[in-house]
Amino acid sequence: MMALSSDIHSSADARRLARRHLPWMVYDYIDGAAGEGEGERRNRDAFRELRLQPRILNNVEHRRLEVPLFGETATLPFGISPMGMCNLSRPGADLMLARVAKQYEVPTGASTAASTSLESIIEAAAGNAWFQLYFSGQETASEALMSRAEAAGYQTLVLTVDVPEVGRRPRELRRGFKMPFRMGVSQFVDFACHPPWSLATLFKGAPELANFGGAFGEFDRTSSRAGADWSLLERIRERWKGRLVVKGVLSVPDAKALQRAGVDAIQVSSHGGRQLESAPPAIHALAAIRNAVGPDYPLFYDSGIRSGEDVIKAYALGANFVFLGRPLLFAIAAGGERGLSQLVDVFSQEVSIALAQLGLSSLDGIGQSSLADASFGADSSIGSGQPSVRHE
Ligand SMILES: Cc1cc2nc3c(=O)[nH]c(=O)nc-3n(C[C@H](O)[C@H](O)[C@H](O)COP(=O)(O)O)c2cc1C
């Protein structure tokens, strides 16, 4: 595929270019969401409606982007959310993401459904990888994955809990998206219309679910995980000696129960709108959950972040760290490793410039006063006025 990374000046650029280069089926797999996409749109709209408060005449010449994360220092305030089948965006995508993680000492999520083995990802990330577990419906299979992750050196397990059933994503269904690919006439035409992607993929081999096969059996991304319950969480908490993060939480009572259950951190997320279409905007849930769990409990956030200003808004509403999803895959599709690094620079510059406009030198200074008005806090969907924020 052609390297067009010089054209990436925003995450919208990455998406636009990716759309041009990817087969429709792959673009719709990445960009798609549950139902008609209302939940995905709502996540982005909710960010857009938030306002930041500019401040003046503070000396902000020296700005730092690093943040503390589980006792260490991440040199950027955002990491890489776990995503299955990243190599569909371009061969080698998982390892490109892992190298970004290594470079900036931020976590990359190695998905259960990754297209590169969990061992290769943590190696390329020089340890900066967290293993994301989908309960497979069979505890023995999950146990086997946890043992492998442990042996590979993973210290953090991310248990994704918002997929009891995979959301219906009509854009995928219309394209006949299946793993492994099923080649029908429409897929053939689709691939033929996108020769650079098709040739690169043909040359490297179609991406596979790399954590499976052989002794590790098969993985069906659409299979039911509806049997997971709180007792499963208890067993996983008992079993996994490292840090346990639970991803996909939008409810205050659930967050409080997870905190009581000894989970080390919660990742507030609506799976980027790919699960329950009518879910509330995840950023609203973050504010409510921060109020409920108190100022010191680690909260991570993903869903709908499209700019550095969005990153800052999530910190203002109580996140201790945030994760990016789709934009990273679009950047890789648009410009390969160079495109990815360019988008990471775009986000970093956007965060840094926004900090300057807010009169701040680091993310540590972000707090409730970084938000411009009370309109968000007064929104009845949050229920308790302005969200309380850690950093003040
Ligand atoms: C193509 C794709 C695959 C994904 N696969 C997984 C996965 O395997 N495990 C998981 O926990 N989340 C998965 N997610 C969800 C992301 O981790 C994250 O929650 C979401 O992308 C964030 O929203 P955003 O894309 O709007 O930034 C996936 C998302 C996308 C776009």
Q: Of these residues, 21, 194, 271, 391, which one is catalytic?
A: 271
Q: Going by DSSP bridges, is the β-strand pair 299-301/72-74 parallel, antiparallel, or unpaired?
A: unpaired
What would the pLDDT profile of 192-245 be if each residue is shown by its tens digit?
Answer: 899 999 999 888 888 989 998 766 677 777 778 888 899 999 999 999 999 999
- Distance in Å, CA 325 to ligand 1 centroid: 6
What's this model's pTM, rounded to 2 decimal places?
0.93
35-64 mean pLDDT? 96
At 386, is the pLDDT very low, low, confident or very high (cuts 50, 70, 90)? very low
What would the pLDDT profile of 61-82 be if each residue is shown by its tens digit?
Answer: 999 999 999 999 999 999 999 9
Provide the residue count of the chain.
392
Cα–Cα distance measured from residue 42 to residue 48, given in angstroms and rounded to the nearest whole number? 10
Q: What percent of the chain shows pLDDT beyond 70?
A: 93
Please tell me the predicted confidence (pLDDT) of residue 6. Answer: 58
Region at 148 (left for phi over 0; alpha for psi -120 to 50; beta for the rest): alpha
pLDDT at 385 over 70: no
Pick from 184-193, 231-240, 254-263: least confident = 184-193
Higher pLDDT, 249 or 182: 249
Q: Of ligand 1's atoms, which has the minimum distance to the CA of residue 158?
A: 11
Please tell me the predicted confidence (pLDDT) of residue 162. Answer: 96
Pick from 207-211, 272-276, 287-291: least confident = 207-211
Average pLDDT of the chain? 91
Q: Going by DSSP bridges, is the β-strand pair 265-268/67-69 parallel, antiparallel, or unpaired?
A: unpaired
At 377, is the pLDDT very low, low, confident or very high (cuts 50, 70, 90)? very low
Cα–Cα distance measured from residue 226 to residue 224, given in angstroms and rounded to the nearest whole number? 5
Please tell me the predicted confidence (pLDDT) of residue 214. Answer: 67
Pick from 152-156, 266-270, 294-298, 374-378: least confident = 374-378
Q: Of ligand 1's atoms, which has the minimum distance to the CA of residue 247?
A: 11
At 176, is the pLDDT very low, low, confident or very high (cuts 50, 70, 90)? confident
pLDDT at 391 over 50: no
Ligand 1 close to Cβ of residue 302 (< 6 A): yes
- Ranges assigned E (strand) in the chain: 67-69, 72-74, 78-80, 108-111, 129-133, 156-160, 243-249, 265-268, 299-301, 321-324
What would the pLDDT profile of 337-353 be if each residue is shown by its tens digit?
Answer: 999 999 999 999 999 99
Higher pLDDT, 251 or 390: 251
What would the pLDDT profile of 2-26 be if each residue is shown by its tens digit?
Answer: 444 458 999 999 999 999 999 999 9
Ligand 1 close to Cβ of residue 326 (< 6 A): yes
> Greatest CA separation found in the chain?
63
Ligand 1 close to Cβ of residue 93 (< 6 A): no
Ligand 1 close to Cβ of residue 87 (< 6 A): no
Please tell me the predicted confidence (pLDDT) of residue 383. Answer: 35
Closest CA to 148 of 69, 80, 96, 213: 213
pLDDT at 387 over 70: no
Quick check: is 271 catalytic? yes
Alpha-carbon Rg for the chain, nearest whole angstrom, is 20
What would the pLDDT profile of 87-118 be if each residue is shown by its tens digit?
Answer: 999 999 999 999 999 999 999 999 999 999 99
